Amino acid sequence: MTTPREHLIDWLQDAYAMEVQAEKLMDNLRSRLNQYPSLSAKLDQHIQETKGQAEQVKQCLHQLGADTSSLKTGFAAFTGTAQALSGMFVTDEVVKGAVFSHAFEQFEVANYTVLIAAAQAAGEPAIAATLEAIRREEEAMAGWLRDNLPALVQQFLLTGEKR
- Residue with the larger pLDDT of the pair 29 and 66: 66
The vertex-113 CA angle with 134 and 52, nearest 5°, equals 15
Give the tens place of pLDDT for each residue, 109-151: 999 999 999 999 999 999 999 999 999 999 999 999 999 999 9
The phi, psi pair for 34, rounded to 5°, reads: -60, -30
- Helices (H) and strands (E) counted in the chain, each on its own, are 5, 0
Residue 64 pLDDT exceeds 70: yes
**Alpha carbon distance 111, 17 (integer Å):** 12
Q: Where are the domains of the chain?
A: 4-159
Using the predicted structure, report yes or no on whether residue 81 has a pLDDT greater than 80: no
Alpha helices in the chain (DSSP H): 4-30, 37-63, 70-86, 93-121, 125-159
CA 80 to chain centre: 10
Query: Alpha carbon of 56 to those of 13, 53, 108, 130: distances in Å?
Result: 12, 5, 15, 7
Residue 82 has pLDDT above 70, yes or no: no
Q: Report the percentage of the chain scoring pLDDT > 90.
A: 67
**Comparing 100 with 127, which gets the higher pLDDT?**
127
The dihedral built from the CA positions of residue 152, 157, 161 and 163, taken in this order, carries a sign that is positive
Q: At the top level of CATH, which class does the domain 4-159 belong to? A: mainly alpha
